């Protein structure tokens, strides 16, 4: 090299060594670090939001899994329950739950006096505030099932009223009782006493997970089990319809469709349907499935069909993305060894795209599982989930609710005990969601590949 | 014969046909599959397809056409005198159908005999009583002409089903015979079957169109009714949304513009939150993160998408709202008066949308070929430069698609808006004021207590169809953009 | 592929074929205000009768009546709950679809109360005039009708706290809004003399009546389109706010809310049933007569609903917050006789 290649005077010499960084490289490296930090920050923000949400949900909802019970021996008075004394089931049935209430209240009062609690409440009627309204139904059902119990003293485990339960869960505070006409401070003194005597106990309540919905006045009895079944049947419908339909449509659009007006029309339609508010699908479901096809109202089948139409675009869009990500070389190779276009797609492209399709399907199902608005219009919100279905046909066709609809309904109800149950329901819903996601992650991990 | 059994029989025939078709093809090639034009199963599928497709097609067409034909001929039987003042032929026909169904069910339940149900001179009152007893819905006493019509209806329906069954069986057997005869070693079974599959794929893709048609149809009649009661010009141009509770006055002002503004404003803020966080998260996950981090972070983020929107609504109302008020409210900047605001709903919605942006963008960034990265590194670019200048431009159309998907979720979101943004329709630029959206109003007008035939309730359908048309236009535009700048690799 | 599709098509066909079978439980739909009461009745009905528990859907009086009026037959609902009377136009629409014989049942009254945060400012006594002065766009100041100048409650009534006016009122979709407007705002309008002033200013009677119902939309009156839980959450977040609630909702949430008297009367089931407390409305349900005797348990459900032990002053409905109808006996008789609206069959 000659002198001419040397830097001229005044200009900084190019850095001679690769190990010392010049300003520009430093700047570039700093930009690199910054960029990376943005990414970390973004993920951290997202996950922080998640944990804040989860924390809020858990603190508000865990209480719903426990419930307060009273264990009380009840004397089933023949004079009240079977006046004729001939154990005729029809006569016994004539005594309504209102006839059972006095017996139960008397039994509770006896228990209170046995425990030696000093209280100004000495009438059995005043014990009403302590026990759930479901107690009478519980005793009546037991008596009807076994009329021989009449005349005996039988021990029952009753639900405590939602106020008593709330007191043990710190939701009902003594200082707020002055205007509460449902329960008085004296009642809470009794509860304290019974708690010591072991008559009242707070235990895990499986009925919340497996039970049916209850009316407004019996928050303590409500469970999410029946609506869980409703959701389950709806998800079956969605999975069995949306997945095959969505995959078939995606394959056509991505692999076969000629570029013409019809294809354009379908594409625009699909991306547009993804944007249509879910409530509009509710209007569609009401008009088409219920009013036109005469499918029964409030049926999980109809809910499933509506949710299928709603999730279809989501599944199609993500399936197409994952079909697109399979490199053309795979198709070319298959075609090269003599496969038809159809065979190359079904035997090679589709299996390779399966993990992506799975991701999309899960997001779609999750979306469907948590959707409330369309169900509102096809009659799945209200006091619906009161009877568990007894079989597949009944599961699909009998009126039922769905988990999010049930949660929405509970969140609206007046008794604050329902508020806790709504959050508890959300916990269960999330458990489903997280297990679905975990399954998908495991599947995706095993099959994900990078081209 | 119930249709369900017919379908089962057709399926049975086609399965038998499958076996025969496959065997025949194989034997035509002397048992050597290599001599066949297509794989042996294709011959079976060929038969299966040719049996099921026309048979099911016939059943569907017949089931749609039969009631129409019968309805027409029965309608002619009903004398004018039966159509009461204020009633219509449709109503009488509904009565006839109900009676016929009632007769069917009653006969099935064994309450009345087949002869009695066909007896034209049967005592109408006794029949009504026994129908009620059998648990059938009967509005009022059945009259003689209606009973006649109902009996004719029953006869025609059962004859129709018989003909259908016979035709279907003949058709499927004939098709099976024809298709099995086709099964020869030189027959291009694969091509035929593939064409059939292609038809199925097209049909699946058309479901989207059918859904759209269904939506439009279910909205359009009520919308027309609404515009009959309320001037369309006011609906589209009025700057005020103030429905009065129906039943008094009629002084409702139902302008859509404030609602549209609220919708777009809230969606915009939601995207402002979701797109940067989601995009950076996607970039980090796909380009920087170790497989372990990715394996944990990605599903965690996806949980955000699955949290029911009502939770976000409560979160917005109870956490975000008060937080914003403490910063921007009277004690702070003084811009905000209540917890419900565009910002409150926007932020909650943004959090919900993060995984929509991140998961889809992540997949798309992953799909950019590794060769492009390697090329960029080879030229000395740092990782972030590669991402900014090579990967993102390459993935842009897909990312735009993901953002559009998120945007469409934002526009269609209801619960968060209802709880977080309030119900006040307002045209304002201040993001700390309460506003509302089209979807929130659709829900509230549809689930309200107002008179269902009033413009206040029907406006929901007009709102629905406007939103539908709007998103359609947006999507056509977006698709155009994506197409124009799309790049294909390899 | 094709197998899957045919299988699913078959499944739908099978289901559609069986769905024609008769329904065996009563289906109810309608107002979310009536839902709590209907659900209590339905539950007790399921416990005490051999019939299955009725299904009660919410979704608003509008949707409930619309579904009710869609026709006669097992695929249509049997009972519609409503927080208002059925309107003439709706009766006509019903008749067009063949739903002619409708039994109207009034189950009792729903009190509407004003409540605020328990630890918040001392809102303890309102009159209709206070609410009108706070929320109406035009009010009377010194005998003249002017644009509302009030910012704080104390601006027009020294007994009220000096807090910014903020009220969470039912949205225009709610039946409660009608009661709020007519029994509170309009009453205040007349009491303050604003109505007369409007008439004197040359407005026609109808226009003045409409103007009397108006509520300002500058943010001091916040429409709540959701349920009372939403109003409660808003009150929680805004200490200076007052909210409009149903009596039953308030009584279930006395640990968070304190109630204000209206015109000096404390709201309670007693004061409302005597008519002392001015803000209340009747609640209804409507029964399709053509379904009686067809849907098992329908008549029993209607009778059970209005029976003394349920809807009476000591029954579970009153306990929950429904104000028992003093004329319950007449309602019971009407239900027993299946007395339809307009007719006497």
The shortest C-alpha distance from A148 to chain C (Å) reads 19
Asked if C70 has any chain A CB less than 8 Å from its own CB, the reply is: yes
State the count of interchain CB pairs (< 8 A) between B and C: 185
Q: Which residues on adjacent β-strands are paired with residue C56?
A: A383, C28
Give C-chain residues touching B422 at CB under 8 angstroms.
222-223
Q: Do C255 and A290 touch (CB under 8 A)?
A: no
Structural domains in chain B, CATH included, are 3-187 (no CATH), 235-484 (1.10.3720.10)
Cα B168 from Cα B162, distance rounded (Å)? 10
For B229-248, b/e burial (b = at least 16 CB within 10 A) is: ebeeeebeebeebbbbbbbe
Domain ranges of chain A: 66-204, 225-447
Asked if A290 has any chain C CB less than 8 Å from its own CB, the reply is: yes
Structure tokens at A155: 């021990």
What is residue B376's three-state secondary structure? helix
C83: which residues sit within 8 A by CB, 6+ positions away? B449, C31, C33, C34, C61, C110, C175, C176, C281, C283, C284
Of A176 and A336, more confident: A336
Instruction: Quote the pLDDT of residue C21.
Output: 45
Q: Do B212 and A40 touch (CB under 8 A)?
A: no
Asked if C240 has any chain B CB less than 8 Å from its own CB, the reply is: no
Instruction: Quote the pLDDT of residue C113.
Output: 92
User: What are the backbone dihedrals phi and psi of residue A367, each rounded to the nearest 5 degrees, phi first?
Assistant: -60, -45
The shortest C-alpha distance from C157 to chain B (Å) reads 23
Q: Is the pLDDT of residue C345 over 50?
A: no
Closest CA to B454 of C203, C102, C222, C84: C84
Sign, Cα dihedral of C3, C4, C10, C11: positive
Closest CA to C56 of C25, C24, C27: C27
Structure tokens at A112: 């209170």
Give rounded-to-5 percent helix, strand, coil for chain A: 70, 5, 25
Chains that touch C (3 or more CB pairs under 8 A): A, B
Which phi-psi region, left, alpha or beta, contains residue A382 (left: φ > 0; alpha: ψ -120 to 50)?
left
What is residue B254's three-state secondary structure? strand
Please state which of the ranges A205-209, A356-360, B35-39, B264-268 shows the lowest mean pLDDT: A356-360
B209: which residues sit within 8 A by CB, 6+ positions away? A265, A266, A269
Asked if A297 has any chain C CB less than 8 Å from its own CB, the reply is: yes
* Contact between B407 and B267 (Cβ < 8 Å): yes
Of A214 and A8, more confident: A214
ipTM associated with this complex: 0.82
User: What are the backbone dihedrals phi and psi of residue C115, each rounded to the nearest 5 degrees, phi first?
Assistant: -135, 160
* Portion 95-134 of C in contact with B at CB < 8 A: 95-98, 100
Q: Is the pLDDT of residue B337 over 70?
A: no
Structure tokens at B388: 């900014």
Q: Is the pLDDT of residue B483 over 80?
A: no
Give A-chain residues touching C320 at CB under 8 angstroms.
216-217
Rounded mean pLDDT, B67-81? 79
Structure tokens at B17: 């046909």
Cα C342 from Cα C345, distance rounded (Å)? 9
Structure tokens at A449: 């590949």
What is residue A66's three-state secondary structure? strand
The shortest C-alpha distance from C183 to chain B (Å) reads 14
Indicate the residue of C19, C40, C320 with minimum beta-carbon distance to A295.
Answer: C19
Q: Which of A216, A237, A388 to mutate to test the interface with C (most CBs of C within 10 A)?
A: A216
Asked if C82 has any chain B CB less than 8 Å from its own CB, the reply is: yes
Sign, Cα dihedral of A321, A327, A332, A338: negative
Asked if A270 has any chain B CB less than 8 Å from its own CB, the reply is: yes
- Triad A103, A106, A107: Cα angle to 5°: 85
Q: Is the pLDDT of residue B330 over 70?
A: no
* Portion 169-228 of A in contact with C at CB < 8 A: 171-173, 176, 179-182, 214-218
Of the pLDDT bands very low, low, confident and very high (cuts 50, 70, 90), residue C20 is very low
For C22-58, b/e burial (b = at least 16 CB within 10 A) is: ebebbbbbbbbbbbbbbbbbbbbbbbbbebbbbbbbb
Structure tokens at C32: 């979310």
* Contact between A70 and A199 (Cβ < 8 Å): yes
Closest CA to C71 of C105, C92, C95, C54: C95
Task: Tell me whether domains C23-109+281-336 and C111-280 share a fold.
Answer: yes
Q: Which residues on adjacent β-strands are paired with residue C285?
A: C81, C105
* Portion 361-400 of A in contact with C at CB < 8 A: 376-377, 379-384, 386-387, 393, 396-397, 399
B359: which residues sit within 8 A by CB, 6+ positions away? A359, A363, B282, B298, B301, B302, B305
Q: Is the pLDDT of residue B277 over 90?
A: yes
Q: Do B205 and A252 touch (CB under 8 A)?
A: yes
Domain ranges of chain C: 23-109+281-336, 111-280
Q: Do A275 and B218 touch (CB under 8 A)?
A: no
Cα B267 from Cα B406, distance rounded (Å)? 9
* Contact between B244 and B252 (Cβ < 8 Å): yes
What is residue A159's three-state secondary structure? strand
What is residue A318's three-state secondary structure? helix
Q: How far is CA C53 from CA A214, C25, C44, in A?
A: 11, 7, 8
Q: Do A271 and B398 touch (CB under 8 A)?
A: no
Of B126 and A256, more confident: A256
Q: Do C77 and A297 touch (CB under 8 A)?
A: yes
Q: Do A176 and C255 touch (CB under 8 A)?
A: yes
Cα B196 from Cα B202, distance rounded (Å)? 10
Reported in sequence order, the residue ranges of B59-105 that DSSP labels E, i.e. its strands, are none
Cα B173 from Cα B160, distance rounded (Å)? 20
State the count of interchain CB pairs (< 8 A) between A and B: 278
The per-residue pLDDT of chain A, averaged, comes to: 84
Of B447 and C4, more confident: B447
* Contact between A268 and B472 (Cβ < 8 Å): yes
Q: Do A441 and B319 touch (CB under 8 A)?
A: no
Cα B416 from Cα A21, distance rounded (Å)? 51
Rg, chain A, Cα only: 32
Q: Is the pLDDT of residue B276 over 90?
A: yes
Rounded mean pLDDT, A315-324? 86
Indicate the residue of B310, B369, B447 with minimum beta-carbon distance to A451.
Answer: B369
Q: Do A215 and C50 touch (CB under 8 A)?
A: no
Which phi-psi region, left, alpha or beta, contains residue B247 (left: φ > 0; alpha: ψ -120 to 50)?
left
CATH architecture classification, A225-447: Orthogonal Bundle (1.10)
Task: Spell out the CATH class of C23-109+281-336.
Answer: alpha beta
Q: For C278-320, what is each residue's pLDDT tens digit? A: 898 899 999 988 888 778 889 999 999 999 888 888 888 888 8
Instruction: Quote the pLDDT of residue B174.
Output: 92
* Portion 288-347 of A in contact with B at CB < 8 A: 288, 309, 312-314, 316-318, 321-322, 324-325, 327-329, 340-342
Q: Tell the residue number behind the tokens 């064994």, with chain if given.
A: B110
Give C-chain residues touching B443 at CB under 8 angstroms.
225
Instruction: Quote the pLDDT of residue C14.
Output: 44
Closest CA to C224 of C277, C182, C276, C170: C170
Check if CATH label 3.40.190.10 holds for domain C111-280: yes
């Amino acid at each position: 090299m000659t002198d001419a290649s040397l830097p001229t005077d005044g200009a900084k010499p190019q850095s001679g060594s690769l190990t010392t960084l010049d300003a520009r490289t430093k700047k570039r490296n700093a930009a690199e670090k910054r960029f990376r930090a943005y990414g970390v920050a973004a993920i951290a923000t997202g996950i922080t939001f998640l944990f804040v949400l989860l924390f809020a949900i858990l603190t508000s909802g865990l209480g719903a899994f426990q419930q307060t019970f009273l264990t009380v021996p009840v004397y089933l008075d023949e004079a009240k329950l079977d006046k004729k004394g001939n154990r005729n089931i029809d006569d016994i049935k004539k005594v309504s739950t209102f006839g059972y209430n006095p017996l139960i209240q008397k039994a509770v009062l006896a228990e209170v006096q046995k425990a030696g609690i000093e209280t100004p409440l000495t009438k059995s009627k005043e014990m009403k505030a302590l026990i759930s309204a479901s107690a009478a139904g519980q005793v009546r059902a037991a008596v009807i099932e076994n009329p021989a119990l009449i005349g005996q003293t039988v021990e029952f485990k009753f639900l405590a009223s939602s106020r008593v339960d709330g007191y043990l869960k710190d939701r009902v505070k003594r200082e707020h009782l002055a205007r509460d006409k449902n329960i008085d401070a004296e009642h809470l003194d009794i509860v304290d006493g019974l708690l010591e005597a072991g008559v009242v106990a707070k235990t895990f309540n499986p009925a919340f997970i497996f039970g049916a919905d209850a009316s407004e006045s019996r928050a303590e009895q409500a469970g999410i089990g029946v609506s869980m079944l409703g959701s389950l049947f709806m998800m079956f419908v969605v999975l069995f319809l949306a997945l095959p339909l969505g995959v078939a449509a995606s394959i056509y659009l991505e692999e076969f469709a000629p570029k013409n007006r019809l294809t354009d029309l379908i594409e625009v339609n699909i991306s547009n349907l993804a944007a249509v508010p879910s409530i509009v699908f509710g209007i569609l479901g009401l008009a088409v499935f219920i009013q036109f096809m005469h499918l029964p109202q409030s049926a999980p089948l109809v809910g499933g069909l509506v949710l299928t139409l709603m999730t279809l675009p989501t599944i199609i869009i993500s399936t197409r993305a994952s079909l697109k990500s399979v490199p053309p070389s795979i198709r070319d190779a298959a075609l090269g060894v003599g496969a038809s276009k159809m065979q190359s797609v079904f035997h090679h492209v589709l299996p390779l795209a399966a993990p992506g399709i799975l991701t999309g399907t899960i997001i779609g199902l999750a979306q469907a599982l948590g959707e409330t608005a369309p169900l509102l219009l096809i009659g799945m919100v209200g006091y619906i989930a009161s009877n568990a279905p007894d079989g597949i046909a009944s599961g699909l066709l009998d009126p039922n609710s769905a988990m999010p609809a049930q949660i929405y309904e509970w969140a609206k109800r007046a008794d604050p005990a329902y508020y806790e149950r709504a959050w508890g329901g959300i916990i269960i819903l999330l458990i489903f969601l997280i297990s679905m996601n975990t399954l998908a992650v495991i599947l995706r991990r095993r099959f994900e590949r990078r081209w | 014969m119930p249709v369900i059994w017919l379908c089962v029989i057709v399926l049975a025939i086609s399965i038998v046909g499958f076996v025969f078709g496959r065997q025949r093809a194989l034997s035509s090639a002397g048992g050597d599959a290599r001599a066949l034009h297509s794989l042996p199963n294709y011959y079976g599928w060929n038969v299966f397809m040719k049996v099921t497709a026309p048979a099911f097609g016939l059943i569907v067409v017949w089931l749609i056409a039969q009631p129409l034909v019968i309805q027409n001929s029965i309608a002619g039987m009903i004398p004018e005198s039966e159509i009461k003042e204020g009633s219509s032929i449709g109503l009488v026909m509904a009565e006839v159908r109900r009676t016929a169904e009632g007769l069917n069910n009653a006969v099935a339940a064994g309450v009345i005999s087949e002869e009695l149900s066909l007896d034209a001179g049967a005592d109408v009152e006794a029949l009504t009583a026994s129908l009620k007893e059998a648990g059938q819905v009967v509005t009022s006493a059945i009259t003689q002409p209606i009973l006649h019509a109902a009996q004719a209806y029953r006869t025609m329906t059962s004859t129709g089903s018989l003909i259908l069954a016979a035709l279907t069986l003949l058709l499927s057997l004939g098709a099976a015979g024809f298709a099995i005869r086709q099964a020869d070693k030189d027959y291009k079974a694969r091509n035929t079957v593939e064409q059939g599959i292609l038809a199925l794929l097209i049909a699946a893709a058309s479901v989207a169109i059918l859904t759209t048609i269904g939506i439009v149809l279910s909205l359009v009649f009520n919308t027309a009714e609404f515009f009959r009661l309320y001037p369309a010009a006011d609906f589209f141009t009025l700057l005020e949304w103030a429905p009065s509770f129906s039943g008094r006055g009629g002084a409702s002002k139902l302008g859509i513009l404030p609602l549209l503004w609220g919708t777009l404003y809230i969606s915009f803020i939601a995207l402002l939150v979701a797109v940067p966080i989601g995009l950076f998260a996607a970039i980090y996950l796909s380009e920087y993160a170790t497989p372990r981090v990715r394996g944990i972070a990605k599903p965690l983020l996806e949980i955000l998408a699955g949290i029911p929107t009502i939770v976000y609504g409560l979160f917005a109302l109870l956490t975000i709202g008060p937080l914003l008020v403490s910063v921007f409210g009277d004690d702070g900047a003084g811009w905000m008066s209540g917890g419900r605001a565009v910002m409150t709903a926007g932020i909650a919605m943004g959090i919900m949308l993060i995984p929509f942006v991140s998961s889809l963008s992540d997949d798309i960034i992953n799909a950019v070929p590794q060769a492009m990265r390697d090329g960029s590194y080879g030229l000395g670019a740092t990782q972030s430069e590669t991402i900014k200048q090579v990967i993102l431009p390459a993935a842009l159309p897909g990312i735009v698609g993901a953002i559009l998907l998120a945007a469409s979720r934002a526009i269609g979101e209801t619960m968060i808006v209802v709880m977080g943004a309030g119900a006040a329709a307002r045209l304002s630029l201040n993001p700390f004021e309460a506003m509302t959206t089209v979807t929130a109003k659709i829900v509230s007008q549809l689930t309200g207590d107002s008179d269902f035939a009033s413009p206040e309730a029907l406006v929901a359908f007009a709102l629905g169809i406007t939103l539908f048309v709007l998103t359609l236009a947006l999507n056509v535009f977006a698709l155009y953009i994506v197409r124009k700048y799309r790049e294909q690799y390899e | 592929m094709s197998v899957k599709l045919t299988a699913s098509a078959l499944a739908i066909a099978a289901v559609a074929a069986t769905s024609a079978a008769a329904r065996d439980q009563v289906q109810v739909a309608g107002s979310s205000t009536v839902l709590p009461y209907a659900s209590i009745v339905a539950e007790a009905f399921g416990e005490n009768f051999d019939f299955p528990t009725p299904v009660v859907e919410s979704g608003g009086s509008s949707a409930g009546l619309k579904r009710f009026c869609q026709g006669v037959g097992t695929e249509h609902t049997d009972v519609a709950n409503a927080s208002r009377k059925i309107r003439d136009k709706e009766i006509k629409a019903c008749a067009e679809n063949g739903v002619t014989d409708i039994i109207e049942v009034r189950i009792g009254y729903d009190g509407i109360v004003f409540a605020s945060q328990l630890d918040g400012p001392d809102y303890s006594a309102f009159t209709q005039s206070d609410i009108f002065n706070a929320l109406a766009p035009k009010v009377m100041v010194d005998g003249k009708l002017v644009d509302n100048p009030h910012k704080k409650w104390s601006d027009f009534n020294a007994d009220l706290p000096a807090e910014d006016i903020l009220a969470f009122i039912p949205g225009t979709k709610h039946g409660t809004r009608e009661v709020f407007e007519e029994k509170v705002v309009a009453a205040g309008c007349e009491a303050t003399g604003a109505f007369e002033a409007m008439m004197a200013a040359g407005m026609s009677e109808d226009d003045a009546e409409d103007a009397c119902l108006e509520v300002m939309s500058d943010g001091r009156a916040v429409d709540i389109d959701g349920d009372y839980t939403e109003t409660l959450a808003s009150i929680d977040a805004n200490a200076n706010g007052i909210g409009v609630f149903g009596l039953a909702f308030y009584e279930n949430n006395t640990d968070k809310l304190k109630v204000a008297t209206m015109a000096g009367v404390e709201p309670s089931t007693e004061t409302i049933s005597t008519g002392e407390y001015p803000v209340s409305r009747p609640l209804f349900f409507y029964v399709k007569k053509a379904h009686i005797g067809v849907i098992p348990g329908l008549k029993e459900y209607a009778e059970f609903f209005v029976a003394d032990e349920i809807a009476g002053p000591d029954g579970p409905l009153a306990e929950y917050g429904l104000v028992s109808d003093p004329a319950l006996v007449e309602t019971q008789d009407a239900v027993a006789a299946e007395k339809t609206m307009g007719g006497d069959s």
